[in-house]
Amino acid sequence: MASDSSRFGHARWSEVAVLAGPALLLFGAFVLLPFLLAVCFSFTNVKLLQTERVEWTGLTNYTRMFALTMVDAPAATGEPTQDKPQRQWRAIKRERPADLESYQYLTDLSLGGRHVLVGARDPQFLRSIANTFLFALLVVPLQTALAFAMALWVNHSFRGRVALRTVFFSPVVTSMVVVSAIWGLILHTEAGLANQVLRAVFGPDAPQPDWLGDPHLAMLSIALMSAWQGAGFQMLIFLSGLQGISIDQYEAADVMGASAWQKFLYITLPGLKRTLVFVALSTTIMAFGLFTQVDVLTGGGPMDSTSTLIFHSMRVGFREQDIAYGSAMTLFFFLFVLLLSLGQKKLMERLGR
């Protein structure tokens, strides 16, 4: 008879190995090993197809991500052209090639009466971080509100609510590549459905926005599409939370003469407090992983206005074949999401007290 030390719960170690071994093997081969390789690569100068001259570079790749420099801009000459700061940067860089050789123009600022030009070793990375935060600020409240409204709708008893739930959830199970391609056709400037509807409603002189080609509209268009595609999943989470609220509370509120708004404000929202926090934070984490929509619809453009952290790391790692620097960016993203997840855990524990 086997001793207790040879058992894992109610199962033998051999049974655990047989059942969990294949999954653990796949996890190690496709998750753990690539992660460890990325950690090692991030401290080297390895290239994708040039592995014969690999050198240890320490924290060079990490300092490259956030390296900034500032120079005073020349006095204004009254030329209100949009590319004037870029031309000023190029002129200063020609005068000081040794100091600014590895820096590119990022932006211009006014600091204490001084007009300075800001350069970065990787301005696309910093723009990608800003774009990632912008996407999260756009999509999280929009998707959360849309999912909440859909959950409230389908939580009522009416004919066809099961079919309506299926319709709301169907975009979630559709491939993001397919969804992005379809929305690319809808948002096409000349032949897209969106602009055709504008012409049909407001006439032939209606504005025809370049939804994916305008730097001011491209990220908003992607956020709208992403919120529509992912709201069905959060709807199910909200729906389970709504159904977990005791019906006795609503019946007691009816006896006391509470209005529908009062029941929503004092029963529904407090009952969904933990659910709201979970949905908002999980949606935020998913928003920071934006890649497929950008890759299919805009390729990071126009003018890097939709480039995100994951997209930029993939572009650098595989298209530019700089595996070392791409690995450093992905590790930075991993640590950021890890800290965000720990913050979520602490917040959930505090709300549960």
pLDDT reported for residue 333 = 92
Type of residue numbered 275: T
Residue 128 falls inside a structural domain: yes
Type of residue numbered 255: V
Residues 290 and 219: beta-carbon distance below 8 Å: no
Residue, of 351 and 40, whose pLDDT is higher: 40
pLDDT reported for residue 132 = 94
Q: Are residues 241 and 109 in the same domain?
A: no
What CATH number corresponds to the domain at position 225? 1.10.3720.10
Q: Which residues pair with 111 in a beta bridge?
A: 114
| Residue ending a domain, choose from 120, 151, 185 | 120
Q: Which residues pair with 85 in a beta bridge?
A: none
Q: What angle do CA 17, 19, 25 make, to 5 degrees?
A: 70
pLDDT reported for residue 11 = 62
With a cut of 50, say whether residue 224 has pLDDT above it. yes
pLDDT reported for residue 74 = 77
Over the chain, what is the mean pLDDT? 87
Q: Are residues 129 and 203 in the same domain?
A: yes
Q: Are residues 283 and 345 in the same domain?
A: yes
pLDDT reported for residue 1 = 45
Report how far residue 311's alpha carbon sits from residue 209's, in angstroms, rounded to the nearest whole number.
25
Residue, of 8 and 219, whose pLDDT is higher: 219
pLDDT reported for residue 327 = 93
Rg of the chain (C-alpha set): 26
Query: Which among 140, 175, 185 has a CA at the least distance from the CA of 292?
Result: 175
| Residue ending a domain, choose from 120, 135, 162 | 120
pLDDT above 70 covers a percentage of the chain that reads 93
Domain of residue 136 covers: 124-351
Maximal C-alpha separation, the chain: 93
With a cut of 80, say whether residue 24 has pLDDT above it. yes
Report how far residue 328's alpha carbon sits from residue 115's, in angstroms, rounded to the nearest whole number.
33
Q: Are residues 204 and 281 in the same domain?
A: yes
Residues 280 and 261: beta-carbon distance below 8 Å: no
With a cut of 90, say whether residue 146 has pLDDT above it. yes
Q: What is the pTM of this model?
A: 0.87
Residues 310 and 291: beta-carbon distance below 8 Å: yes
**Most confident among 7-21, 40-54, 232-246 (mean pLDDT):** 232-246
